[in-house]
Structure 1
Amino acid sequence: MAITTTKTVPFRFDQVGSLLRPDELKSAREKFLSGEITRSDLTKVEDEEIRKVVAKQVNLGLKAVTDGEFRRSWWHLDFLAGLNGVETYSQHASYKFKGAKTRDTNVRFSDKVSYNPDHPFFKAFEFLNSIVPKGILAKQTIPSPTLYFRDHRDDNAVKFYASRQDFLKDLAVAYRQTIRHFYDLGCRYLQLDDTTWAFLINQIINAKSAEEKAKYEQIAKDSVTVINGALQDRPEDMTITTHICRGNFRSTFLFSGGYGPVAKYLSQLNYDGYFLEYDNERSGDFSPLGDIFTKGSDKRIVLGLVTSKFPELESEEALEKRVREATHYVPLNNLCLSTQCGFASTEEGNKLTEAEQWAKLKRVIDTAQKIWSEA
């Protein structure tokens, strides 16, 4: 009988991507926005702080490192606004997080969407990749194309397209070309961050009618179409994963609900791995994993059991117990461990210290090394 083996990425211990912004970087960004320093001055500070945070990740023992998303203000809007045909605007309303208000920035379509060969994220990746030591992977994170389906972002796309299918096709092509350029720059580990599935869970569960439920199920189908279109023809030696969570802003959240309502759609996505938020009861139990994971698959499920929202440190014993519980649905060989989200999805960051952040990541590493002998 053939033995099914998994890829080594995602790693047994891994991370989502964003890290708390150091004071030096926050100060420099404020000075730039007020006109006290130039863009070049800000970039120099960003470069220096990214060098430091990469070194910290490497010294901690992580096998894939990010730039902490230090050049971004938002985890998603900075990228979304960078494609051709998309613009930033003030929506005069904050996102409805539970207990906190965000800034009112949003994006919308100003023309047909297309790949931007001069997207600033490319230059940012080149810098990260140039400073990562040999044997360590530079991990790039970008938002999923499904983020365009939420918060009225695609409302005016109809003005530029004869049909929604034409819009979905252009969006998939723009992402496909973007992914290819990251690859050409040396990227071998890319993650598409996605809160749309949590939004859909929430909407499907609370739908007031069959028609309303069908509306959101169609968005789920469109999401599968666009994501798989974006991943079409991607290089075989490039690992592409997704991270799914329920919102992350100053230690608050947007949505609740288990993965059940969208499990069948998630199972259709051509990703190599899924980073799934599972730090508390808001994420539901592990049973949907049986529908997301296909028996015999080499995909990896990364359990986000360690919260990035609060400083309290989970015990290794409790984490190991939960990993063992998940093996009722997914083989241990296909499981990994991480935090449930990044530590600073926006530049404001979550409510814990940098020392507490590193302690969380070390707990992920130490626990994984106890569970998996090869970690």
Structure 2
Amino acid sequence: MTTTTENEFPYRYDVVGSLLRPATLKDARAKFAAGEIDADQLKTVQRAETRRVVGEQVALGLKAVTDGEFNRSWWHLDFLWGLNGVGHYDYQQSYKFHGSKTRTDNADLVGKIAFNPDHPFFESFQYLQSLVPAGVLVKQTIPSPTMLFRDNRSDNWHEFYETWDAYLDDLAKAYHETILRFYELGCRYLQLDDTTWAFLISKLNETVDDATAHQTYVALAEDAVRVINDLLTDLPADLTVTTHICRGNFKSTYLFSGGYDDVADYLSQLHYDGLFLEYDSDRAGDFTPLKKIWNNDTNKKLVLGLITSKFPDLENEDDIKTRIKDAAQQVPLANLALSTQCGFASTEEGNQLTEDQQWAKLKLVKRIADDVWG
């Protein structure tokens, strides 16, 4: 974790991660699934489109760019499948977003969790790294390890471990070693995407009158803090690690609602350099929890997701500036930044807007940030 007092990233305008998949890439994936093209042909299309969107981000003036997550179908599962000890199966149930249902892929334990030196994301990172010009940083996104001990993915942990704690230790170690490998390849900015905290906001609130059920979710929150801080321990000082807390993002719909009050104490304990926080709708609550989340850490930045990636209409600039000013009543302006509330395509289906509208959103983020922070 970065320990210097002058931490440039997250930058005052930043990109969360995923970008809309172009029709050419969607078509290539469909042909690959149908057996009409092979893996190398799919990779050729994927890399060409990655090169294009990197160029778009650089031209827009972003200080850190991503590959749009074009190397994956899901924001989380493709990475988890690449770890040793994780398998792929059909859950036969969708993630039930408000107004839409996902595909039924899922991950489960098939052995002890371990670092995979041949994880396919390493090759993708190296290609992305080859595309960026001097002065622009690659931002690598991966899911938080909390995504592996939720949603039935670790139900059979006892088949491979004597204790739950031993499983969590291996999970933290696998992530720590994975991040170190990214660092060896040149990564200096990495983000862990996480829907668990939004899930816990809902569950902790729902179970407030049921002590037994409530304690289940308290334990999950405590395990999340433990695993995340364990994997962040003793990382290189010049590596920035952030997290994005998401309430669900599928075809412009969502999963969870609620303000950050119920999890602010836990978030304040996390040793991240920055937290990307959704604040694009009333479902996120007010800015009051920001002070507790920031916890007077002058090295930590909170990135306000005030611009929605779900819908094409552009926000009013003065309204956003007013909201930033309001947030600065809780956290110094120097420790705040601006982004969209999420990426544009957490799965390959993507949100309900066009690529031109996507770029307009990111341009708006930069324009407002330049005005506010100078």
TM-score interval, smaller chain:
over 0.9
C-alpha distance in structure 2 between counterparts of 1:6 and 1:12, whole Å: 13
Which residue of the partner structure matches residue 367 of structure 2? 366
The gaps in structure 2 that reach 5 residues or longer are none
1:6, 1:333 within 8 Å by CA — same for their partners in 2? no
C-alpha distance in structure 1 between counterparts of 2:91 and 2:54, whole Å: 35
C-alpha distance in structure 1 between counterparts of 2:168 and 2:184, whole Å: 24
C-alpha distance in structure 2 between counterparts of 1:12 and 1:327, whole Å: 14
- Evaluate the alpha carbon distance shift between residue 113 and residue 291 of structure 1 in structure 2; reply closer, same or farther with a 3 A threshold: same
TM-aligned CA deviation for residue 136 of structure 1: 0.2
Residue 282 of structure 1: SS of its match in structure 2? helix
C-alpha distance in structure 2 between counterparts of 1:21 and 1:199, whole Å: 27
TM-aligned CA deviation for residue 6 of structure 1: 4.1
TM-aligned CA deviation for residue 298 of structure 1: 1.4
Which residue of the partner structure matches residue 236 of structure 2? 235
Which residue of the partner structure matches residue 308 of structure 1? 309
Which residue of the partner structure matches residue 195 of structure 1? 195
- Evaluate the alpha carbon distance shift between residue 45 and residue 169 of structure 1 in structure 2; reply closer, same or farther with a 3 A threshold: same
User: Counterpart of 1:28 in structure 2: which amino acid?
Assistant: A
TM-score (norm 1): 0.98
Q: Deviations over 1:218-272 (max 9, x none)?
A: 1000000100111111000000000001000000000000011111110111100
Q: Deviations over 1:64-116 (max 9, x none)?
A: 00000001100000001110000010011100110000000110001110000
* Superposition map of 1:249-288 within 5 A: 249-288=250-289
Residue 287 of structure 2: SS of its match in structure 1? coil
TM-aligned CA deviation for residue 294 of structure 1: 1.6
TM-aligned CA deviation for residue 296 of structure 1: 4.6
Which residue of the partner structure matches residue 25 of structure 1? 25
1:190, 1:240 within 8 Å by CA — same for their partners in 2? yes
Which residue of the partner structure matches residue 218 of structure 1? 219
1:85, 1:109 within 8 Å by CA — same for their partners in 2? yes
User: Counterpart of 1:341 in structure 2: which amino acid?
Assistant: C
TM-aligned CA deviation for residue 197 of structure 1: 0.3
C-alpha distance in structure 2 between counterparts of 1:182 and 1:274, whole Å: 20
TM-aligned CA deviation for residue 135 of structure 1: 0.5
C-alpha distance in structure 1 between counterparts of 2:6 and 2:86, whole Å: 38
- Evaluate the alpha carbon distance shift between residue 296 and residue 169 of structure 1 in structure 2; reply closer, same or farther with a 3 A threshold: closer
User: Counterpart of 2:329 in structure 1: which amino acid?
Assistant: H
Which residue of the partner structure matches residue 65 of structure 1? 65
Q: Deviations over 1:336-372 (max 9, x none)?
A: 0000000000000000000000000000000000000
C-alpha distance in structure 2 between counterparts of 1:96 and 1:150, whole Å: 15
Residue 303 of structure 1: SS of its match in structure 2? strand
TM-score (norm 2): 0.98
Residue 155 of structure 1: SS of its match in structure 2? coil
Which residue of the partner structure matches residue 318 of structure 1? 319
Residue 267 of structure 1: SS of its match in structure 2? helix
C-alpha distance in structure 2 between counterparts of 1:37 and 1:212, whole Å: 49
C-alpha distance in structure 1 between counterparts of 2:137 and 2:175, whole Å: 22
1:276, 1:301 within 8 Å by CA — same for their partners in 2? yes
Which residue of the partner structure matches residue 343 of structure 2? 342
User: Counterpart of 1:252 in structure 2: which amino acid?
Assistant: T
TM-aligned CA deviation for residue 297 of structure 1: 2.3
Report % sequence identity. Answer: 59
Residue 156 of structure 2: SS of its match in structure 1? helix
User: Counterpart of 1:298 in structure 2: which amino acid?
Assistant: N
TM-aligned CA deviation for residue 5 of structure 1: 4.8
1:6, 1:334 within 8 Å by CA — same for their partners in 2? no
1:115, 1:177 within 8 Å by CA — same for their partners in 2? yes
Residue 62 of structure 2: SS of its match in structure 1? coil
C-alpha distance in structure 1 between counterparts of 2:280 and 2:315, whole Å: 10
Which residue of the partner structure matches residue 98 of structure 1? 98
Measured on the aligned residues, the alpha-carbon RMSD in Å equals: 0.9
Runs of 4+ in 1 over 6 A off after TM superposition: none
Q: Deviations over 1:139-162 (max 9, x none)?
A: 000000000121111111121111
User: Counterpart of 2:296 in structure 1: which amino acid?
Assistant: K
Which residue of the partner structure matches residue 149 of structure 2? 149
C-alpha distance in structure 1 between counterparts of 2:123 and 2:110, whole Å: 24
C-alpha distance in structure 1 between counterparts of 2:134 and 2:319, whole Å: 34
Residue 368 of structure 2: SS of its match in structure 1? helix
Q: Deviations over 1:32-69 (max 9, x none)?
A: 11111110001011111000000000001111000000
